[in-house]
Structure 1
Amino acid sequence: MEAKQQEMITIKSGQEGRFRWVAVTALLLAIGLILKLVTPAVAGITPNWLIAMYCIAINLTRVSIKQAAGIGLVTGAVAIPTSKAALPYANLISEPVGAIVCALIVHTSFKLAIGTINLRPAITAGISTVASGLTFITILKVALSLPVAVYLYGMLPVVLAVAGINMAITQLIYFPAQRLFGGKEA
């Protein structure tokens, strides 16, 4: 019987959390996907849990713009099979737009708080949802040759309503997620 020699793994200092952002994002997107599948629509509107979760992940990990684009692309791919939209592949464009917008806001030096309450999660979620939603409905309008009235009075109000809902959800979930994952403070 041969004796097995144990391998020694060495970790260079400063490399410990190099891919932490991937784990945090994957877990939050998985939670978002489950919530997307089980959340019923109210008046035809459901929160966009995937955007809320990637905004939380980007706020916690402060990823680069390139990494945010990757997060958005993965989110878009995950959203395709669960989409109820007429053109689900538009998510491959709209979600990276939303994630990049979120990362750009996260990297600004503006203090987005009222007193001691950090409002950056809500603000990033609202603006990212609007950016992603506008991109999505614009692609839909052009690809399906929809009338301007449908775009302005049918789809745009839904995007704004979802943005408001996402702002509240993201703000509420961010602080427990920050305690759980130990995110960076902006």
Structure 2
Amino acid sequence: METAQKRVVVKEKKAGLSISDIILVGVLLAVGAVLKFFVGSLFSAGMKPNFIIAMYCLAILLIKPRFIEAIIIGIIAGAICQVFPGTPYINLISEPVGAIVMAVLVYLPLQIGKFSLKPIVGTFFSTLASGMAFIGILYAAFYTGANVKTMPIGVFLVIVLGTAVVNSIIVQVLYIPLKLALGRGRDD
């Protein structure tokens, strides 16, 4: 008589982004672009809030990509930003900076009890990192003689901080429902 052997399920290590991950990133970046176009058009202060940052932060939270994949998500987000009026090419550097910050913060234990603070804290600091990189590159270009428009740093900082707060709220509100709807589990 044979005895039944214990069945073991081995979960394979994630090798890269799945097709559903790529589609999710694309949809969220498209939503960010639509928000940037329609809501951003209500602002006339020169620099407009960038909702694309909120959406790539949400994507990174949901799919937890490797760092190189996060950088690629940031580059794609920066390329999408090139469609909108503004200072060309700077977002190709500032968005990957924000994406890297988010990718790092995804792996930190940021929670109070069962409530995850990753969406609000991660998005806030990622938006700050992206905004500060943008401002730094813009002013470096300005001081080296490039033909770029600037405004007082205080105005930029208010816009960056305001965008960081708005992005953080958007991502915090959307994170749990999207995570559950996509079947990404309840645990962090």
Q: Is the structural similarity TM-score above 0.5?
A: yes
Question: Do the aligned residues in 2 keep the contact of 1:68 with 1:103 (CA within 8 Å)?
Answer: yes
User: 1:54: how far off?
Assistant: 0.7
Shift of 1:149: 8.3
Q: Cα distance, 1:46 vs. partner?
A: 5.0
The one-letter code matched in structure 2 to 1:171 is Q
> What is the aligned residue count?
168
1:164 equivalent in structure 2: 165
Superposition RMSD on alpha carbons, in Å? 2.5
Task: Please report how far the alpha carbon of residue 114 of structure 1 lies from its aligned counterpart in structure 2 after TM superposition.
Answer: 2.5
Partner of 2:139 in structure 1? 141
The 3 A distance-change label for structure 1 pair 79 and 65 is same
What amino acid sits opposite 1:105 in the alignment?
L
Structure 1 pair 124/150, CA: closer, same or farther in 2 (3 Å)? same
In structure 1, what residue type is equivalent to 2:104? L
Alignment TM-score, normalising by the size of structure 1: 0.80
The yes-or-no answer on 1:80 pairing with 2:87 is no
Give the CA deviation at 1:57: 0.7
1:100 aligns with 2:100: yes
What are the residue-to-residue correspondences of 1:1-186 with 2, within 5 Å?
18-39=18-39, 40-41=41-42, 44=45, 46-82=48-84, 84-85=85-86, 87-108=87-108, 110=109, 112-145=110-143, 150-151=152-153, 153-183=154-184, 185-186=187-188
| Alpha-carbon distance in 2 for matches of 1:89, 1:106 | 27
Question: Does the aligned pair in 2 maintain the 1:24–1:181 contact within 8 Å?
Answer: no
Distance (whole Å) between structure 1 residues aligned to residue 100 and residue 68 of structure 2? 8
Between the aligned partners of 1:43 and 1:165, the Cα distance in structure 2 is 17
C-alpha separation between the residues in 2 aligned to 1:180 and 1:37? 26
Q: Is the 8 A contact 1:21 1:63 kept in 2?
A: no
In 2, are the aligned partners of 1:21 and 1:61 still within 8 Å (CA)? yes
Report SS of the residue matched to 1:89: coil
**Aligned equivalents of 1:127 and 1:41: distance in 2?**
25
1:58 aligned partner, one-letter code: I
Distance 1:23 1:131 in 2: 26
**Distance (Å, rounded) in 2 between the aligned partners of 1:47 and 1:150:** 17
Q: 1:143 to 1:160 in 2, by over 3 A?
A: same
Q: Distance in 2 between matches of 1:133 and 1:24?
A: 24
Counterpart amino acid of 1:167?
S
Q: Which amino acid aligns with 1:177?
A: L
Q: Shift of the alpha carbon at 1:20? A: 2.9
Letter matched to residue 158 of structure 2: P
Distance 1:35 1:60 in 2: 20
Unaligned runs of 5+ in 2: 1-10
Deviates more, 1:87-96 or 1:41-50: 41-50
| Shift of residue 99, structure 1, vs aligned partner | 0.3
Deviation at 1:18, TM superposition (A): 3.3
- 1:93-126 CA-to-partner distances (Å, cap 9, x unmatched) read 0000000110011122x2x123332111111110
